Structure 1
Amino acid sequence: MLLIKELPTSESLKKFAGHYPEADIVAIWEFVNILRAASDLSDALDKMLQQHGLLQGRWWVLVLLLREDNLSSSPSELAEKAGVTKATMTGFIDGLESEGLVTRLTDRKDRRKLKIKLTPAGRKKLDEVMPVYYTNVAALMSTLSLQQRQDVVRYMQTLGANADIIK
């Protein structure tokens, strides 16, 4: 993910509008501010997770497995739920497996079928990370009132539901 660090100035937006008069520079400024906030949040989450030897992709795999009743899922289901390719998921699983946080299990009836299972070490890792995550998220979200939080979520859901407008 590209982290946006420098937002356009009003001068650069005016220059942009001079080249592209059809551009809605207010909408562009608002959009890049939303992207910047998302970048900052993603970066902050990665920094917190790095303190525990994880990054978002691998952490999400562990969280997705924890959500399952039997703590296991197929690699393709994990990839779909995480919104990544099967190849990317394989990389996440390889790293987690090498650290003993997940294990690959073959179906006894059909050896072509594979399940990824959260190990006790993976559960221990989550037990270490999740309280820190929850505390940090609560602290961050407390900077907004309940109404502001609900508004932000509603607005972001609306934008997300219409993201296919960007082609």
Structure 2
Amino acid sequence: MKSKQSKESEKESEVGVAKAAAREAFIPVMRELVRAYQAYAVYSQTHIRELGLTPAQFDVIATLGNTDGMTMGEVADKTLVTKGTLTGIIDRLEQKNLVRREVPEGNRRCFMLILTPEGEQVFEEVFPTHIAHLKERFEQLTPDEMQQLQSLLKKLRGLFE
């Protein structure tokens, strides 16, 4: 059994480790990354909602735009939406008559997701509008800064994959 003094010493040691961890050099970088993402997300998502879509619906429509359609798996791989959430999003887009499910000939095990004419019209209106909205912010960076930022973000992502 540990003595009271031994337990107190162990606790002091743990506090010292926690203080040291809090001083790690990457923590300010991590905080800035999270703050930058949160600011971007609020800016982007607010505009998307003003356009009458949820961010996930926009992501699906933007992914299907300018294509002949994709399988559910392809859409899940190309969007930021999980497969479990995707079914509900597609259901709601079908209710809005923006997307349809179509079973391809020769493969009854899957179906294609295709923008309806109304979905194509929404894509043609909303996608360029939102890109222009984002461009207002991104064009404040120089081309060199954009390249540096892209390279560093790719490198950072690679560290976690």
Shorter-chain TM-score tier: 0.7 to 0.9
Give me the whole-angstrom Cα distance separating, in 2, the residues matched to 1:33 and 1:151.
16
Distance 1:50 1:84, change over 3 A: closer
TM-score of the superposition, structure 2-length normalised? 0.81
Residues in 2 aligned to 1:113 and 1:22: alpha-carbon distance in whole angstroms: 49
Counterpart of 1:47 in structure 2 is 46
Counterpart in the other structure of 2:18: 19
Higher fraction of helix: 2
Which secondary structure state, in structure 2, belongs to the residue aligned with residue 104 of structure 1?
strand
Assess if the C-alpha contact under 8 Å between 1:17 and 1:23 holds in 2: no
Note if contact 2:62-2:127 (Cα within 8 Å) is conserved in structure 1: no
- Where relative contact order (Cα < 8 A, 6+ residues apart) is larger, the structure is 2
1:149-164 correspondence to structure 2 within 5 Å: 149-164=146-161
Q: Decide which moves more: 128-137 or 149-158.
A: 128-137
Structure-2 separation of matches of 1:17 and 1:116 = 55
Instruction: Give the TM-score normalised by the residue count of structure 1.
Output: 0.78
How far, CA to CA, are the matches of 1:86 and 1:60 in structure 2? Answer: 13
Give the Cα–Cα distance (whole angstroms) in 1 for the partners of residues 156 and 66 of structure 2. Answer: 27
Structure 2 gap segments, 5+ residues each: 1-14
Q: Secondary structure at the match of 1:21?
A: helix
User: Per-residue displacement from partner, 1:21-79 (whole Å, max 9, x unpaired)?
Assistant: 144444111111111101111111111110111122111111111242x2x11112211
User: 122, 125, 137: which one pairs with 1:125?
Assistant: 122
- Residue 76 of structure 1 corresponds to 73
Cα distance between partner residues in 1 of 2:28 and 2:125: 39
The CA distance in 2 between the partners of 1:99 and 1:35, in whole Å, is: 34
Identity level (%): 24
Contact 1:46–1:55 (CA under 8 A) maintained in structure 2: yes
- 1:57 maps to 2:56: yes
Distance in 2 (CA, whole Å) between partners of 1:17 and 1:91 is 48
Q: Distance in 2 between matches of 1:160 and 1:17?
A: 31
Higher alpha-carbon Rg: 2
What SS does structure 2 have at the residue aligned with 1:112?
coil
Contact kept, 8 Å, 1:17 with 1:25, in 2: the verdict is no
Which one-letter code corresponds to 1:114 in the other structure?
Answer: F
Count of matched residue pairs: 147
The 3 A distance-change label for structure 1 pair 31 and 106 is same
